[in-house]
């Protein structure tokens, strides 16, 4: 429901299909990540196996290919693996997708269904990138990788076999954080940015006392203690979390005014819900008209569940419409 608000003074109720899926996952009893210690390859495999429960029945696309984006010393970015999806009825333009996972988990494989379906709904070629993960590579390593990817895509599409047309940047959770921070980075640098931003339940601040953090501190899928640990791995120095490139809700009004059009997706039963609602409030106060879609009764990460949740499929259709709107409103490049 576009433009809806969340009443975080009362505990939200999971929707019937969301509750049924949470019950199903409990019955399956897949192993869960132990957030009491830093992630390693084994922990990341556990997380990948957990997400594989939903990464099924992959939608058909016309082509899939892997490529490597070279390192970029100008921004201290590393070489990044990438995957490109092109749907059968593709239009012009391109989506740069940044996966979530708390800056420390997940990869191109965990988000395969997500990326395939987004490209289909948007009728747009999509390139997903694998950035460096924390805590081995804390802020701003991953951000620099995304900045480099955006710059290469904007300037060197022929070299990578990517289509012309406007570029939309998208991301979920920590990926939404990196996508928004990338836009702010390029604004500050005076460089070309994307035509729009598609941000799914982003982590935009490090304030753990917001209304949604208080109400949904122990919600399914993501809790306040987990987010606190993820922040400790991503930005260990608390004082550095004031930086808008780490916590984008700290951006000033001029930076927010300069952003391209945004479409914000919010999961109602999510400790991070207030992050997006606060960003939307500030954008509205500046006279902007950015999109907001609040999906009631669902948890953080619900867009991984498009194979089983109609709410996720419904939201993906709206996201696809938003991408098409960004593209048609932007002159062809």
Give catalytic residues, as residue numbers: 173, 270, 300
Give the pair of three-digit tokens for residue 151. Answer: 């710059």
Residues 6+ apart with CB under 8 A from 248: 177, 180, 181, 184, 202, 204, 205, 279
What string of DSSP letters covers 137-158?
A: S-TTHHHHHHHHHHHHHHH-HH
Block residue for tokens 């940047």: 169
CA distances from 246 to 41, 91, 100, 235, 255 (A): 25, 34, 15, 8, 14
Element (DSSP H or E) covering residue 314: helix 310-328
Over its C-alpha atoms, the chain yields an Rg (Å, rounded) of 18
Block residue for tokens 């931003």: 197
């Amino acid at each position: 429901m576009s433009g809806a608000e969340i009443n975080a003074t009362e505990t939200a109720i999971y929707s019937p299909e969301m509750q049924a899926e949470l019950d199903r996952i409990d019955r399956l009893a897949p192993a869960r990540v132990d957030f009491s210690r830093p992630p390693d390859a084994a922990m990341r495999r556990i997380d990948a196996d957990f997400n594989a429960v939903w990464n099924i029945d992959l939608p058909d696309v016309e082509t899939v290919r892997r490529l490597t984006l070279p390192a970029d010393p100008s921004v201290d970015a590393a070489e990044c693996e990438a995957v490109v999806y092109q749907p059968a009825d593709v239009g012009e333009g391109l989506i740069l997708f940044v996966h979530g996972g708390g800056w420390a988990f997940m990869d191109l494989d965990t988000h395969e269904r997500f990326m395939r379906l987004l490209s289909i709904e948007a009728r747009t070629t999509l390139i997903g990138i694998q950035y460096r993960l924390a805590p081995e590579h804390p802020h701003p390593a991953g951000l620099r990788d995304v900045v480099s990817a955006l710059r290469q895509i904007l300037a060197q599409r022929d070299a990578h076999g990517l289509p012309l047309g406007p570029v939309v940047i998208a991301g979920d959770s920590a990926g939404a954080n990196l996508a928004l921070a990338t836009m702010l980075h390029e604004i500050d640098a005076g460089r070309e940015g994307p035509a729009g931003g598609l941000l799914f339940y982003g982590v935009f601040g490090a304030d753990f006392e917001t209304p949604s953090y208080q109400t949904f501190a122990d919600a399914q899928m993501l809790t306040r203690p987990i987010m606190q640990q993820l922040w400790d791995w991503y930005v260990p120095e608390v004082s550095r979390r004031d930086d808008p490139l780490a916590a984008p809700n700290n951006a000033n009004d001029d930076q927010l005014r300069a952003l391209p059009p945004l479409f914000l997706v919010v999961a109602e039963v999510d400790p991070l819900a207030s992050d997006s609602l606060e960003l939307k409030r500030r954008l509205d106060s500046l006279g902007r008209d950015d999109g907001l879609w609040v999906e009631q009764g669902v948890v953080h990460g619900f867009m991984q569940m498009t194979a089983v949740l109609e709410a996720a499929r419904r939201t993906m259709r709206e996201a696809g419409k938003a991408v098409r709107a960004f593209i048609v409103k932007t002159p062809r490049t």
